[in-house]
Structure 1
Amino acid sequence: MENNRRSFIKKLGVAGATAAIIPSVFASEGKPLNFLNRIETKRNSKPIAIALIGAGGMGVADTKTALEHDNINLLAVCDLYDGRLEESKKRWGNNLFLTKKYEDILKRGDIDAVIIGTPDHWHKKISLDALKAGKHVYCEKPMIHSVEEGHEIVKAWKKSGKVYMVGSQGLSSLGNEKAKQLLEEGAIGEINYAEGFWARNSPLGAWQYPIPNDASPQTVDWKKFVEPTTKRPFDEDRFFRWRNYTDYGTGMSGDLFVHLFSSLHFITNSLGPTKVAATGGLRYWHDGREVPDVLLGMFDYPDTESHSAFNLSLRCNFVDGTSGSTYLKIVGSKGSMEVTWDDVLLKQNTASNDNDPFTEEKASEESMTRSDRKKILPPSDTFYEAERGYKGAHYDHFANFFHAIRTGGTVVEDPVFGFRAAAPALLCNDSYRQNKFIQWDPEQMKIV
């Protein structure tokens, strides 16, 4: 496997290596990048009618971004809280169909696709019902609430013939696309290590979302909310701050690690790790939450046709004094890349050598005669930045989704990809709670 990868890199030659380190703007480099099928919607494209199921913060953000595209029409919104339905009417018009029963939306023949922005514990059930009803699906990450749910969604998606996109929107960024290109060109050599970090700092407490004054059993369909899980008396904290509780959310790893896994797997063509371990704890936010506010994950990635064996380290901190920082760093035998959604910093630890005997001899002579003379060194750091006016990864993620619907094509983050990104993230929770290493088969997508 290693020989195949090295052979590919060698075939690039000096020209390929040079192209990998010349700074330029993403969208204006010679041949356009096309890993993600980033295609703008044409004004005369076929209209697509959508509905939103789950009108919380992320569901609203998804819908706003979707509506930035031409010929996308929002027909309906579903939420279990009256206040969000009223806000939807103010935001998008009185003609919206509003309901607390997502099944009412799936029955409508005029809706082509649904956005699922609900808490994690509803993702599987609504996904299965939507696919069965013949709807295309955009489901927020993580696609599943537990690893056991993954194969059900994959099977239903394959049977349906519909487009299913998982919403780790950063995956569709120009930053990830550029990093993928650089890695394939051999800019950092063979991968041996990667690390990711996600931090947040909020004076109110991470995930302590505001609770409306009118929150009550009269304005919230609590019975429906807890239907797939443990039945409890109405609890406004659990409804509006659901990420803090294991019945509904998937903790720091399901919320944030999954973004890092998605980007890493896209850049490296990886199927995932074979070993998962996690540790952490509740270090600061002793506010009744059931999940850690500091989490560390460690992962072993095997040697494959796509990449050499490497280790991954992920960290999350909700007690961070930096007010939030995020990055993904990929380290190889020749250098490293620090990747964000909008830029890439390439660091190379040695200058390229063209292996010209004459040049090497002259350099040796100069070294002997003028040992005190300073040399001109080639740049070791190269910064790539998206062009001004870049609409962002979230916009491009939906562009991929809508293009696939219109053309009968595929998306970059289908349920198989989404499962392989979600599984190691959710296994972090199991490792943390069970205090043990977990073995994972990334090809068959199952615990060993």
Structure 2
Amino acid sequence: MDMDRRLFLRSSAMAAAGAVTLRSLHAQGPRVKSPNDTIQLALIGAGIQGQGDARWAVQVPGVKLVAVADCYDGRLAHSKELWGSDVFTTRDYKEILARPDVDAVLIATPDHWHKQAAVDAMKAGKDVYLEKPMIHVYEDGPEIVRTAKETGCILQVGSQRVSSVVYAKAKELLAAGAIGKLNTINARWDRNSSIGAWNYTVPADASPQTCDWPRFLGSAPKHEWSPERFFQWRKWSDYGSGVAGDLFVHLFSGTHFITGSNGPTRAMATGAIRYWNDGRDANDVLLALFDYPEGFNLSLRVNFVNGGEESEGFLFTGDEGTMEIAGSTVTVTRVPHEKEPGLTVGTFTEAMQKEATAEYRKKYPVPHPEGAPLQTIQKFSAEKGYADNYDHFRNFFNSVRTRKQPVEDATFGFRAAGAALLANRSAEKGSIIHWDPVKMTLG
């Protein structure tokens, strides 16, 4: 939607004293932008992820960052250092949503602000790139999905693996039967550093004067000023979603993209704070098992004290081989299942052994031609320097221009985050948790 149209709609709404409804504002839908038009982007939440995302976003041709909102003055000042003194900065993101020169927003706030910021942005006519996890609590999901449909705004969730050429190749290979029928997936994301465990640096000038603590808290329980909670918010469930919301959700996004599944039906999880006893209430070790209606099981693990380097990866196991994703590579190791007559044949007479083996081979031919290797390996590698972050933003801005649904819409994002939060609920309750991945409701 261009500037003139935004100004017209705003002035019309004021003249009608609020008579223009949200639905009528979007009756014709947002305007398709020409490839030559610049998409003007605003950042809401300029922390580690927000600044990193914005750096990728502005690399996409035809995108300009024009505004930043954050609750810490130091990040607002740094945003001007990064993107120019003309960038508008504010503590209150609603000032950004009121600006007619903003086409889309990138939301990278703490999790407990995701729903409200996204809903407010879409109701203001802004397209939204919303960092994962899409939800902080289950009640957030339906409202985000509904608002995206009602407003016609684009909403893409920020799990970049769904735009990755590596994961696209894995999806292609699985669908082609490269490993036969899938039965299990094992995925992990382990770390062994203080920063990896969310102990982010607190700036020396952190204070209630430089940090808008009441605005940061928002809907979270009231709490006295705490610089640790402000800058290391992932360590507390009041603001974050633990390792499940931070890391499991990436693994779910990858799993659902590659398999085409809507999600699991049952979850069992366990975990604890094994090492980082620093006041946090988020587990630093979490293990979980999930049942999928397609007939496979998913096993996930996060360990913040793994005694080694950071490690992330998938292992898909089928009845004829395995497929591993590690970094920018996909490796298929194919060893078709050998169907043998069984050990009991050796207890028969020699004549009966020959007859039984011959009958068995009529049903189950030897899978390998004589002389063929029992094991075959196929490997795919992305180009050196490839970054799925860029592709994910490129896909988002393409949707902004064309109004086509994004690669990771609100429904996909809800299913990934909803599945991840099953692990938290199961670990907390010490019981199996059921989930309907189609209706996106707890059982």
TM bucket normalised to smaller: 0.7 to 0.9
1:346 aligns with 2:337: no
Residue 258 of structure 2, aligned match among 238, 248, 267: 267
The match for 1:172 is 163
Residue 388 of structure 1, aligned match among 384, 387, 399: 384
Once residues 115 and 280 of structure 1 are traced to their aligned partners in structure 2, the CA distance between those partners, rounded to angstroms, is: 32
Higher radius of gyration, 1 or 2? 2
The match for 2:117 is 126
Contact 1:136/1:405 (8 A) holds in 2: yes
Q: Structure 1: where are the runs of 5+ without partners?
A: 1-41, 304-308, 368-374
Contact 1:341/1:393 (8 A) holds in 2: no
1:203-222 aligned within 5 A = 203=194, 206-222=197-213
1:101 aligns with 2:96: no
Once residues 93 and 416 of structure 1 are traced to their aligned partners in structure 2, the CA distance between those partners, rounded to angstroms, is: 36
Query: What secondary structure, in the 3-state scheme, does the structure 1 residue paired with 2:435 have?
Result: strand
Once residues 196 and 389 of structure 2 are traced to their aligned partners in structure 1, the CA distance between those partners, rounded to angstroms, is: 26
Contact 2:113/2:218 (8 A) holds in 1: no
How big is the shift at 1:302? 0.8
Counterpart AA for 1:411: P
The match for 1:291 is 282
1:425-444 aligned within 5 A = 425-444=420-439
Q: Give the TM-score, by structure 2 length.
A: 0.84
Once residues 286 and 92 of structure 2 are traced to their aligned partners in structure 1, the CA distance between those partners, rounded to angstroms, is: 36
Contact 2:320/2:337 (8 A) holds in 1: no
The match for 1:446 is 441
1:30-45 aligned within 5 A = 45=36
Contact 1:147/1:427 (8 A) holds in 2: no
How big is the shift at 1:43? 11
Once residues 219 and 157 of structure 2 are traced to their aligned partners in structure 1, the CA distance between those partners, rounded to angstroms, is: 21
Contact 2:319/2:337 (8 A) holds in 1: no
1:147 aligns with 2:138: yes
1:399 aligns with 2:397: no
1:416–1:311 CA distance, 2 compared to 1 (3 A): same
Once residues 253 and 160 of structure 2 are traced to their aligned partners in structure 1, the CA distance between those partners, rounded to angstroms, is: 9
Once residues 74 and 386 of structure 1 are traced to their aligned partners in structure 2, the CA distance between those partners, rounded to angstroms, is: 29
Contact 1:193/1:310 (8 A) holds in 2: yes
The match for 2:64 is 73
1:302 aligns with 2:293: yes
Counterpart AA for 1:83: G
The match for 2:299 is 313
Contact 2:273/2:283 (8 A) holds in 1: yes
The match for 1:87 is 78
1:389–1:430 CA distance, 2 compared to 1 (3 A): closer
Counterpart AA for 2:318: G
Counterpart AA for 1:326: E
Contact 1:77/1:97 (8 A) holds in 2: yes
1:382–1:202 CA distance, 2 compared to 1 (3 A): same
Contact 1:329/1:339 (8 A) holds in 2: yes
The match for 2:15 is none
Deviation string for 1:41-85 (max 9, x for gaps)?
x99532100000000000001100001111101110000001000
Count of residue pairs the alignment pairs up: 386
- Between the two structures, name the one with larger relative contact order (CA 8 Å, sep ≥ 6): 1
The match for 1:422 is 417
1:325 aligns with 2:321: no
Contact 1:170/1:341 (8 A) holds in 2: no
How big is the shift at 1:424? 1.2
Once residues 46 and 93 of structure 1 are traced to their aligned partners in structure 2, the CA distance between those partners, rounded to angstroms, is: 20
Once residues 336 and 133 of structure 2 are traced to their aligned partners in structure 1, the CA distance between those partners, rounded to angstroms, is: 39
Once residues 65 and 321 of structure 2 are traced to their aligned partners in structure 1, the CA distance between those partners, rounded to angstroms, is: 47
